Amino acid sequence: MTAFTITGSRLAELWSIVLEVPAASLRPEHDFMALGGYSLLMADLQARIKRSFGCVVSLRDLFEHSTLAAMTELLDSDQYATGGASDTPAATPDAPPVAESVAELSADQERIRFADGLTDGSPTYNVPFVLRVPGRLDEAALRRAMHIIVARHEILRTTYPIIDGRAIQVVHPPQELPLPAVDRADLSTMELEAEARRPFDLATGPIVRCTLYRTTEGDAFMIVMHHIASDATSLTLLMRELTEAYAAVREGRDPVLPTIPLQYREVAARQREATETEKHRRDLDYWAARLAGITPLELPLDRPRPPVQTYRGGHAHGRIAPEVVARVRTVARAHRVTDFMVVLAGLKAMLWRYSGLSDVAVASITSTRHQWDCEHLLGLFVNTLVLRTEVTPELTFPELISRVRDTSLSAYEHQDAPFDEVVRRVNPPRDPSRVPLATVAVSWQIGELEAPTFDGVKATVSEYPTATAKFDMEFFLTANGDAIDITIEYNRDLYDQATADRLVSALESMLTHALEAADQPLSRISPLSAAERRTLLVDYQPVRTWRDSLVGVHHLVERQVDRTPDLVAVEFHGETLTYRELEERANQLAHFLGELGVGLDSRVAVSLERTPLLAIALLGIFKAGGCYVPLDPDYPQERLRMMIDDSDAIVVLTEQGLANRAPSTGQRVISLDTEWEAIAKHPIDRPGHAMHPEAIAYVMYTSGSTGRPKGVVVQHAVLTNLMRWRTGVSELGVGSRTLQLAPLSFDLSFHDIFSTLISGGTIVMVPPHVRQDPNAIVEFMAAHDIHRFFHLFTAAHNVAAVPDSSRLLRTIREITSVGEQFQSTAEIRRLVDNLDGCVIWNEYGPTETHVATAYALRGPASAWAVRPPIGTPILNARAYVLGPDLELLPIGAEGELYLAGVCVAREYLGRPDLTAERFLPDPFAVEPGTRMYRTGDRCRWTSDGQLVYFGRTDHQIKVRGKRVEPAEVEEELGQHPAVGQVVVVGLPDADGNVRLVAYVCPVGPPPSQVELRDFLKARLPDHLVPPVIMMLDSLPVTPSGKVDRKALPLPAADARALSYSDFRAAESQIEREVARVWQTVLNLDHLGVDDSFFDVGGDSLLIVKLHAMLRDELGSPLSIVDLFVHHTIAAQARALADREETQEDSTAVVNRLAGRRTALGGVG
C-alpha cells in the first residue's frame, strides 16, 4: 500500500471494509465511486468515519472529496480535525438493556403495520424466495440452523398486536420454527406462488415461514418472511448465517457468527429518542420547506383510479445494455456522481416526458442501517425519501444530472426523518387512492441476492413476486456486472402490461439518447425506441390508399344519380326531389352561374333556409367549378358583410324571405325562388368544367382570437376523402333516411347532406319550428322513420333525454356526435341500449380538417367510458401527439394534437401570417411538401392506438399551484347516477385565486352539494373537488349548439357558504356519537361534521386509534379503508347507519348505539 498519513491509513481501512477491496491495493488517487461506491455505501462510510474519527462529515463533503487523498485532507482540515461541525454526538452511547418483552415499533415498522392493516389478507408485504439444490438437504440440520438464527434475532420471533388502537411489538422466547417437509415429485410454480402469497397475521405470528420440498430434481427450501422484519440487507445476512449455521450443525461445532450489539427493539427505542433531538427538528424543517406545494406525479393511466388504493401488481423486465452502462459510468466519474444519480436523471427525464409535469418527485427507498451500528442485525432498516427535481425543457442532460445530484445529496443529509413524520409535517391533502407525496418509486441495489452454500454446493435463489404493488409504479434497478437490470412493479388496476413494457423500453431509450446528445436540451431528447416510433408513425396511422379519378364531391353524387335516378334524394314538408330531379336542377343552376362568371375557385355566398333549394344550390355551385361561402341569416349584418367582402364572393345566392339579410357590396344577389324561372331555361346536362383535387369546395368562417373571423379554405380532396371513408364504415346506404338539422354555417351540414347523397339515401330536412325543441325533433324523427342523424353532443343528449325517446326512435341505426366532447350520459346509454344494433360515432375534427378521427361505440352502452376516445385517424389522415418542439411524444404521454394527410385544409383565406402559424410542414411525412395542422387540443395515444381528448390547451387551469384539467372533474362527476350534463370551469374568487365551479344538469331530483362533493372526494384529490356546484335546468349553448362557457351564470357572492370547510354542527344522534369519538381521538372540542379528519390533525396512526374506538364503543363494522374513504363525521355517520340499516331501522341503530355508550360509562 502506498504510504499514507495516519488519517489516510485509518481511512483506507474503512474504504476496504465498505468497498470490500484489499486495503493494500488502495492509492491516494483512487476515487470512491470509481471503485464501485454509491450513495448507500457512502452513507455507510460516513457512519464508520463518525465511529472511528469522532466527527460527523456531511455526505455532500464526502461526495465532493471522493478520492482517498482528498478525503484524507478533508478529515485533517480544521473543520473536522476537532470533531466536526455537527451538533450530533460523535458516538451514540449504548442504551441500557431492555428487559421487557413489549416495546414500541420503529417508525419503519409502524408504516408497514399500518399499510398491512389496510390490505388485510393481502401478500403485499410478503418477501418470498426459494433455495434449490440438486441433491438432498439434511432436514434436521436445516431445522436446527434456522432455530439458531431465530434464537439469535428477536425480530424473527416478534408479533405485532394492536392494543388500545396502537400497534406494539411483543418479543417471544426462542422456540423451534415449524419446518414441514413435503414430498413433491413435480413441484409446480403455481404451488410455490400460492405459498408465497399466503398472508401473515402480524398480531399472532409467526412472521417467517419455512417449507422444505423434496422433488425428483432435488430439494427446494422456501422461506417467506414479512417485510416488517426484513429488508434487502437482511436477506443477504440471512443467507450468510444460514450457510454458517448449517455447516456448523453438520460439523458438530458452534457457528461462528458476528456479534450483535443491539436487538431490533433497542434500535426502535433509540430511533424514538432521536426524534427529540435538534437534528430531527432541522430534518423535518428541511422536508417541510422542500416538499411544500408538491404536485404528486401521475403518469397517464390506462383506466380510472379506484377510490381506494389497491395493491394488485404486475411486473415488466428489461436491461440497460453494457455499452450504455459503460457510458453511464464514464459520465458519473466525470461529474463526480454515482451511477444511480445518472440513471435517476434519465428516469426523471422520462417521467417528465410522460407526465408533462416539471415538478418531478419520486420516492427513493433507502437504507437506514448505517445509523444504528447494526450491520449484522436482521430487521427493517428502510426509509422513503422524496427526491424532488424541477425538470424543464431547456436543460441539458448534464445540467439535469447536476440538479439530481444536488437534490439527492440534500435529501441524504436529512434522511433520518421517518417518512410518516415527513408526511404529517408536510400535511398534503389525503387521498386514499394513492401514496402521499410520491406515487412513483425507485430502488437501487448492487447484484442479486447472495445464495447460501450447503455441503459445498451453492444453492440457486429464485424470488417469487407476489403480484402486488405498493406504489402506482416502482422501478427496481439492479447493477449486475456490466449491465443494469430493470424491473417495473406496477399497479394492474391502473396500468396495462403493455404500458409497463413500454416504460422499460422508454427508460433504456431515454438514457441512451440523453448520453449521446449531452449538449442538446431535454426537449430534443426522445424516450422513443425505434419500435415505438414505428408504432406511432405506421401502426397507429391508417393505410394510405390511392384516390380514384373522381376529384370533386359532385362527381360522387353524379355516380349515385346514375345508379338510383328515381329514388328520393331530398324530402321537405311533403315535397320530394328524386336524384334525377336534383341533378337536373343543379345542372341548370351550374350553367346559370357560369354565365355570371363563376368558375374554378370562384366564391359564391349562400344564405338559404334548410329546404331542397339548399341541396340544389350547393351541388350547382360545385358543378360550376365554384365554392360556397355559408352565411348564417342569424348573424349580424356587419359580420355577414365582412364575410362576403373578405371571401371576395362574386355572387350571393339567397331566397326572397332572406334577401334583406344578405348584404351586398356590388355582388350579384340571386333569389333562387323568385328567379328560378330564368334559371330553369338552362340545359339539364352536366357542365364539362375541368377540376383538380385541390379545387376549393367551401370557405367556412370561424371565430378568430383577435375577434376577426377567419375563412378556412377547404378543398374537394378533403371532402371526397371524408365521403369515401364514411361510405366505407357506415352500414347505411340506399334507402336510408338522414335527418338534416345542422345550419349551413356549421360544417356538419356538409356531412349530413353529402354523405347521404353519395350513398343513395334520402335527406329529410327539418322545418324551422321543430329545430330548437328536442321533443319536437323526436316526434319528427319518429314520424319520418329516420335512420341516422348528425348532431352536437349537447343536442344529441337532449334528444335522448326526451321521455319515451327509446320507444319513439326505434328506426334509428346510427348517431354521429361532433363538434364537442362526447359523454355517454345515462340518457344516451338508455336510448342506445333500447335500440337494436344502433352505433354512435364519436367524430373529431376542427373546421380546418373537418372530420379527422372517429370512434365507434357499439355493444352494451353500460360498458362505455363516460368520455370515450376520439378514435383513430380516418382514411388517408394522420395524427401526431407532439411536444413543444414538435417532437413525437410516446404512447400515453399527453401533448398537442397535430393532424396531417388528405384531411388538412388549404389555408386561412388572405391570412398568410396565420396560415404559417397553424399550418406547418409535416416533419414525419413521406411525401415532400406535406403539411400538418396544429389543433390546440391536448390528447394522448392509448396502448391500443386510440386518441383520448383532454380539452383545449387554453382551458387548462391551475388550482393551488397544481395543474387541473376540468374534463377530468367532469368525467368523474358525470358518473354520479343523478348527474346528467356537467361542465366545470375555473373562476377567480374575491382574493383572485382560481376556484373550480361545477355546473350540473341533474337527472331527476337534484342531489345535494355535500353528496356530490363526497362522491368526488372518494375519487379525486382534494384540489380537484369544486367548492361550488351549481344546479341548472340546462346548459347555455352557442348558436351552433355548443356549450357556451361564457354564458354560464356566475356563483352568488356568498357562494363560499357552499365551501366544504365551513362549519356545520352534528345534527343526528349518530353524528353526535361519531363526533364524540373524534373529539377523544383528536383531543379537540370544536369539530364540524364536514371537516376532513386529516385537515383537523388526523394522520395514519390516529385513524387506527379512531377505528379501534369506533369499533369498541359504537360497534362500528367500518374498516380502516372505509374511514379513509369516508373521512368526515357526516360521511362516517352515514356509512355507519347504512351498514346497520341493512339489519334494523335507523331508530333502533340510534338507541342501540346510545345504549352501548351508556353501558360503557360514556357521557353525552
> How far is it, in rounded angstroms, from Cα 1155 to Cα 1045?
54
- For residues 549-569, average pLDDT: 91
> How far is it, in rounded angstroms, from Cα 984 to Cα 982?
7
Query: Is there a shared CATH topology between the 6-81 domain and the 550-730+744-765 domain?
Result: no
Each residue's pLDDT tens digit, 275-302:
889 999 999 999 999 998 888 888 888 8
- For residues 860-873, average pLDDT: 90
Instruction: Read off the DSSP letter of residue 536.
Output: I
Each residue's pLDDT tens digit, 463-492:
877 788 999 999 999 998 899 999 999 999
DSSP per residue over 875-911, as a string? TTEEEEEE-TTSPBPPTT--EEEEEEETT---EETT-
- For residues 1125-1144, average pLDDT: 77
> How far is it, in rounded angstroms, from Cα 501 to Cα 531?
12
Q: Which residues 6+ apart lie within 8 Å of 915 measured at CB?
A: 907, 908
| Other residues' Cβ atoms within 10 Å of the Cβ of residue 279 | 18
Residue position matching grid coordinates 395524427:
879
What pLDDT sits at residue 1140?
A: 61
Domain ranges of the chain: 6-81, 102-267, 278-372+390-447+473-538, 550-730+744-765, 956-1061, 1069-1159
What pLDDT sits at residue 638?
A: 80
Cell of 394: 431547456
> How far is it, in rounded angstroms, from Cα 711 to Cα 699?
6
In this structure, of 103-117, 227-241, 817-831, 961-975, the range with the lowest mean pLDDT score is 961-975
Each residue's pLDDT tens digit, 749-793:
999 999 999 999 999 999 988 888 889 999 999 999 999 999 888
Residue 1143 pLDDT more than 70?
no
Confidence of residue 558 (pLDDT cuts 50, 70, 90): very high
Strands (E) in 140-257, as ranges, are 158-159, 162-163, 166-171, 181-183, 208-215, 218-226
Domain 956-1061 CATH (choose: 3.40.50.300, 3.30.300.30, 3.20.20.70, 3.30.390.30):
3.30.300.30
- Phi and psi based region of residue 36 (left: phi greater than 0; alpha: psi -120 to 50; beta: remaining): left
Residue 575 pLDDT more than 70?
yes
> How far is it, in rounded angstroms, from Cα 258 to Cα 252?
19
> How far is it, in rounded angstroms, from Cα 1015 to Cα 393?
37
What pLDDT sits at residue 1150?
A: 42
Each residue's pLDDT tens digit, 155-188:
999 999 988 778 899 999 998 888 999 998 888 8
Residue 544 pLDDT more than 80?
no
Instruction: Decide: 542 and 875 in contact? Cβ < 8 Å.
Output: yes
Q: Does 6-81 carry CATH code 3.40.1360.10?
A: no
> How far is it, in rounded angstroms, from Cα 196 to Cα 184?
17
> What letter represents residue 733's amino acid?
G
> How far is it, in rounded angstroms, from Cα 628 to Cα 646?
13
User: Residue 491's beta-bridge partner residues?
Assistant: 313
Each residue's pLDDT tens digit, 1045-1073:
877 888 764 333 333 345 678 888 888 89
What pLDDT sits at residue 958?
A: 55
Question: Rounded to 5 degrees, what are φ and ψ at 962?
Answer: -110, 140
Residue position matching grid coordinates 468515519:
49
Residue 1 pLDDT more than 60?
no
Cis peptide before 1006 (omega within 30 of 0): no
Cell of 786: 329516420
Residue of 444 and 450 predicted with greater confidence: 444
> What letter represents residue 439's amino acid?
T
The count of residues in the chain is: 1164
> What letter represents residue 151's amino acid?
A
Each residue's pLDDT tens digit, 636-690:
788 888 899 999 999 999 999 888 877 777 889 999 999 999 999 999 999 987 7
Q: What share of the chain is helix, strand, coil (3-state, %, to 5)?
A: 40, 20, 40
CA 239 remoteness from chain centre: 40
3-state secondary structure 311-363: CEEEEEEEEECHHHHHHHHHHHHHCCCCHHHHHHHHHHHHHHHHHCCCEEEEE
Closest CA to 927 of 888, 898, 897, 901: 901
Cell of 1016: 368526488
- For residues 112-136, average pLDDT: 85
Cell of 722: 371524408
> How far is it, in rounded angstroms, from Cα 981 to Cα 978?
10
Sequence-distant contacts of 335-338: CB under 8 A, at least 24 apart: 335/398, 335/401, 335/402, 335/405, 336/33, 336/63, 336/64, 336/66, 337/33, 337/63, 337/401, 337/404, 337/405, 338/33, 338/37, 338/38, 338/39, 338/42
Q: Does 1069-1159 carry CATH code 1.10.1200.10?
A: yes
> How far is it, in rounded angstroms, from Cα 689 to Cα 590?
10
Confidence of residue 37 (pLDDT cuts 50, 70, 90): confident
Closest CA to 983 of 1159, 1156, 825: 825
Instruction: Decide: 510 and 525 in contact? Cβ < 8 Å.
Output: yes
How many CA atoms, within 13 angstroms, populate the side-chain half-sphere of residue 730? 29
Residue of 868 and 29 predicted with greater confidence: 868
What is the signed CA dihedral for 935, 936, 937, 942, rounded to 10 degrees? 70
Q: Does 278-372+390-447+473-538 carry CATH code 3.30.559.30?
A: yes
- For residues 420-443, average pLDDT: 88
Cell of 516: 449521446
Q: What's the mean per-residue pLDDT of the chain?
A: 86
> How far is it, in rounded angstroms, from Cα 576 to Cα 1135?
62
- For residues 1137-1142, average pLDDT: 67
Confidence of residue 206 (pLDDT cuts 50, 70, 90): very high
Burial of 220 (0-12, 13-18, 19+ CB in 10 A): buried
Q: What percent of the chain has pLDDT over 90?
A: 49
> How far is it, in rounded angstroms, from Cα 407 to Cα 60?
11
Each residue's pLDDT tens digit, 310-334:
889 999 999 999 999 999 999 999 9
> How far is it, in rounded angstroms, from Cα 1102 to Cα 806?
52
Confidence of residue 346 (pLDDT cuts 50, 70, 90): very high
What pLDDT sits at residue 567?
A: 97
> How far is it, in rounded angstroms, from Cα 997 to Cα 1026?
5
Cell of 1064: 356545520
Residue 99 pLDDT more than 80?
no
CATH code for the structural domain at 102-267? 3.30.559.10
In this structure, of 262-266, 394-398, 661-665, 1073-1077, the range with the lowest mean pLDDT score is 661-665
Confidence of residue 928 (pLDDT cuts 50, 70, 90): confident
At 560, is the secondary structure helix, strand, or coil? helix
What pLDDT sits at residue 55?
A: 79
- For residues 436-460, average pLDDT: 89
- Phi and psi based region of residue 992 (left: phi greater than 0; alpha: psi -120 to 50; beta: remaining): left
550-730+744-765 adopts what CATH topology? Rossmann fold (3.40.50)
What b/e string do you get for 874-909 counting C-beta neighbours within 10 Å, with b at 16 or more? Answer: bbbbbbbbbbeebbbbbbbbbbbbbbbbbbbbbbbb
At 168, is the secondary structure helix, strand, or coil? strand
